[in-house]
Amino acid sequence: MAKVGFVGLGIMGKPMAKNLLKAGHSVVVYDLAAAAVADVVAAGAKAGTSAKDVAAQSEVTITMLPDGPDVEAVVLGPNGVLEGAAKGSAVVDMSSISPVSAQKVGAACAAKGVEFLDAPVSGGEPRAIDGSLAIMVGGEQSTFDRVLPILQKMGGSITLTGAVGAGNVTKLANQIMVACNIMAMSEALVLATKAGLDPEVVFNAVKGGLAGSNVLNAKAPMVIARNFNPGFRIKLHQKDLRNALLAAESMKVSLPFTATVQQVLMALMNDGKGELDHSAIATFVEKMAGVEVKKPAAANA
């Protein structure tokens, strides 16, 4: 069992850290939110006083933070992970950030003799809870092999995709597919509802065919039930698509559908919906069509 540090106990990080505890690892945690720290400490973790303190007590330090600037501040900044990390230890950033940020942090770690992986995840809160996340990893094979037993306690699918930064390129590709899938699903369910059909019946009719997907299975029931409690927030998906578009621009790649959905997410944020689950993309389409996706009144009676 390894000594693992975990910095960042949000919607995803908290259950991920708890799964490491359940597996028998010694875990020290830190987050700016005292309540989140207290919750994980109650499950058996030790509280660290800073990111530096967490790293000083850990063989492997995991960060799970909102965006690249947060990761750079927590790893590279004052009282940060690199100030506490010993030579030969490892840092695994599981945040979804720009590949450029990942490479910057990786280079700083390498300069201090600290191994680094960028290992963003997909699957949302439910898979973070049950430990079945898809984990996309960038870095050296030897570091991957070293950390794999830890990652296996949080993920069901773990793939080394290339050098440092490749994990986040893969995650951006994932986020493009998820966002465009939700947008297409939203348009389809709005059309069906406007035509007088029961959207739940339509969902059940198509989910076994070529249109079926994990995204459809997870998000259509949320839209139909009007449940937009965040498993993955709109503001974070907007951030991911922004990073995808910036990366695409640097490589002169046109991503027209990604750009459209990113603008939809931005509009929803401006409408006060940034904290909602990304399934609330449907509300944008609903507003334009003047219809709400839900079971017909007779079906609800």
Measured CA to CA, the distance from residue 231 to residue 276 in angstroms comes to 8
Place of tokens 């990113």: 262
Asked if 92 and 61 touch (Cβ cutoff 8 Å), the reply is yes
* Cβ partners under 8 Å of residue 262, min gap 6: 179, 238, 241, 242, 245
Report helix angle 199-206 to 214-224, nearest 10. 170
CA–CA distance, 68 with 250 (Å, rounded to integer): 17
- Residues 262-294, buried b or exposed e (16+ Cβ, 10 A)? bebbbebbeeebbebbbbbbbbbbbeeeebebb
Catalytic, 171? Answer yes
Element at 186 (helix H, strand E): helix 166-194
Residue of 52, 104, 171, 239 marked catalytic: 171
Q: Which residues are catalytic?
A: 171
